[in-house]
Chains A and B, each alone.
Chain A
């Protein structure tokens, strides 16, 4: 479907994207993940023909975006980071222009505009000026524009940035729907978002691809750091006495809380977490010490992401915190 081969983009001396290669198959929702300035937008701009590459190729269904731009661009609908809208027009006028530019005519044009307006739920604002629409609706008009001409691939650059929580949920639902009959590629620096809607994730850092897998598989990468946390009705000394009885536990942290309870976090290694939880339960039950709360700690994409990018540069994870990755 889309093949990106050895893509490199330099701005003077600055390398924005360096030797990026990946392939995207039909009919999935792909997430493009990376901190701000990782090269997500640059890559997307190159894939859609808005920017030239210093080196490398992008092929859409076999058509090279630089050599056969017309055929290649027909397969793609693109929503840039800032929706490219003409503020002094209505969505109806705007979509008519985009449709015509994509080669649609007459009845077909009318039908497609109606379809995409229905799909993005903008049919009731079609005759209002875009400058008077809310940010969420502008984003929808932008997505509607990308859907015109029924392209196989929809590329959305940070589609939920700057929207309120309800709008975010609505746009996410819309993207999920689109994923049913299009290939959708979206970029984001919010991990939970990608985890929620994407079937496959590309993690990009400093212009390089650092991981490309399903979110579940990426989590498996970090199983080794799994652990169990529990709160028990026991003193620190009592816990330190009980835990060595369970042979598979080697390391633990104990924190006494103000209410007389003790919070413990146990590192387990890659073994069966359930089994160890059971042993813990009975070990404490034998001593008549109650465990009030117990949960197994699973690595999430955030950990994967930090783990994968940490080696490169400390600044990456710093900028990650700044950009508010940890939203949930």
Chain B
């Protein structure tokens, strides 16, 4: 794992990836700080982060698109498979390297509140709480990006999928206001989700029975619940969409609340998508 981590890091800092990523992130935060903190003379640095996080739509795919797709393209994944290291170690090593690349510009950003504090009163606690949440949320999105990169050997394709996925996640709360809140609408959406989940499982495991079985069980559960107590489905779909939003939980921090459940939520997302990435790599062995 350490070998993979070191190798990836040297790769990032030898190529432009780390520098482009840092440049983008620093530019976004810098412009945000300029507008909010300096121009408008607002002391809340956390608002800048809240404003800048839309930038993840662009910078996370830049960072993650090549992480596994490139290995496939160069056929170096065969080397990784033949080395005496586990697939999970490969994925975690690569992921940690991405986190380090992500952490470097954030260390520079971490100086901003201190600088502002020299010239007035800054809410350091909320600033750094938000910065931590900013890091953890980005880490969760990097995990999502890593998984998307593991699905293809085409970097452009990986970025092309990651951008709409993050964008959709960003707007899911807004969209939630427009989707049907009725019980039947939610039930229909759940069935669609069950089908999509089944397709994903089939793609990952190539086990049709397992995929259709899980899909069918979820549909059955939805149908049973719907006919026994349809009131439970009222407003379920918008609720789910809000809950799935990575950004919504981050705004809690920006508003000055240190929400531990959100951190646990992010950690769950990270573990879930890293697990999926490992499965996706393993699947190549079982194709």
Contacts and interface: CB of A to CB of B under 8 A. Distances in A.
Interface string A78-97: 10101011111100010001
B285 A76 contact: no
B39 interface: no
Interface stretch (B22-30, B53-61, B82-90): B82-90
B82 A49 contact: yes
A220 interface: no
A52 interface: yes
B207 interface: no
A86 B80 CA distance: 12
Interface string B67-104: 00000001111110111111000000000000000000
B4 interface: yes
B114 interface: no
Interface residues of A, number: 30
Nearest to A48: B82
A6 B2 CA distance: 37
B14 A88 contact: yes
B209 to A, nearest CB: 15
Interface size class of B (residues with CB under 8 A): 20 to 34
Interface stretch (A99-107, A176-184, A228-236, A304-312): A99-107
Contacts of B79: 80, 84, 98, 145
A69 interface: yes
B74 A50 contact: no
A63 to B, nearest CB: 11
20 contacts: A11-B287, A48-B82, A49-B81, A50-B81, A52-B285, A70-B84, A73-B84, A82-B78, A84-B74, A84-B75, A84-B78, A85-B74, A85-B76, A86-B11, A86-B74, A86-B76, A88-B15, A89-B11, A100-B3, A103-B84
B203 interface: no
Contacts of A52: 285-286
A87 to B, nearest CB: 7
B6 interface: yes
B10 interface: yes
A134 B81 CA distance: 25
Question: What 6 pairs across the A-B complex have the smallest Cβ distances?
Answer: A100-B3, A84-B79, A73-B84, A50-B81, A97-B7, A101-B3
Given A50-B285, A97-B3, A100-B3, A73 B83 contact: yes
B285 A73 contact: no
A51 interface: yes
A80 B74 contact: no
Contact of B10 (A49, A70, A93): A93
Contacts of B2: 100
B85 A101 contact: yes
Given A50-B285, A73-B82, A80-B75, 9 more contacts: A52-B286, A84-B77, A85-B76, A86-B11, A93-B10, A97-B3, A98-B79, A101-B3, A102-B84
Interface in A34-75: 45, 48-52, 69-71, 73-74
A52 B75 CA distance: 17
Interface string A135-162: 0000000000100000000000000000
Contact of B82 (A78, A85, A88, A103): A78
B78 A50 contact: yes
Nearest to A70: B84
Contacts of A85: 74, 76
Nearest to A47: B82
Nearest to B90: A101
Nearest to B2: A100
A249 B82 CA distance: 57
Contacts of B285: 50-52
Contacts of A98: 79, 83
Q: Which of B14, B15, B74 has the most CB of A within 10 A?
A: B74
Contacts of A70: 84-86
A184 to B, nearest CB: 16
B74 A87 contact: yes
A136 B232 CA distance: 68
Interface string A94-123: 000110111100000000000000000000
A188 B283 CA distance: 28
A101 B4 contact: yes
Nearest to B14: A88
A126 to B, nearest CB: 16
B144 to A, nearest CB: 25
Nearest to B76: A84
A73 B78 CA distance: 13
Contact of A80 (B4, B14, B78, B84): B78
A48 B285 CA distance: 11
A100 B78 CA distance: 17
Nearest to A77: B82
A92 B86 CA distance: 24
B181 to A, nearest CB: 44
Interface string B138-168: 0000000000000000000000000000000
Given A50-B285, A52-B286, A93-B10, A102 B83 contact: yes
A74 B82 CA distance: 9
A76 B84 CA distance: 9
Contacts of B74: 84-87
Given A50-B285, A86-B76, A100-B3, A76 B14 contact: no
